[in-house]
Amino acid sequence: MSMLIEICKYDKGIMYGELLMNKRISTEELYYKYLAPAIKELNIQYFRNDGEIRKCNQEAAMRELELLIEWVEKHVEGKDLDYLQSRLRNVQKVIPESLQEEDDILYIF
């Protein structure tokens, strides 16, 4: 079974505290096949494995996410495209909903 790449929020921003939200971004296979090369090419900072998104960097993270979606739409086809588009568009909705307080942190793993 392959690992999943997810965006997670924990209570009081403490990693591994009570899990408040987690959403799948990708399977490990698709991450390494498509997203890792895109992240490197685009010099993405927030959507790397072990990345953190906070309210103070939300705007920059959302811009990076839009760049990542555009890259996927140009370089991925078929069911992989459908899957990644769906997951990344969902993350676009989840980020603003999840970063309500200044100390909220979203973790990528």
- Domain edges within the chain: 4-108
**pLDDT reported for residue 48:** 85
**pLDDT reported for residue 12:** 73
- Spatial neighbors of 52 by CB under 8 A, at least 6 apart, are 46, 105, 106, 107, 108
Average pLDDT over residues 35-63: 94
**pLDDT reported for residue 1:** 40
- Beta partners for residue 23, in sequence order: 7
Q: Is the pTM of this model over 0.85?
A: yes
Per-residue pLDDT reduced to its tens digit, 6-46: 889 888 766 667 888 999 999 999 999 999 999 999 999 99
- Strands 4-10, 52-54: pairing kind: unpaired
Cα Dmax for the chain: 39
Query: What is the average pLDDT score of the chain?
Result: 91
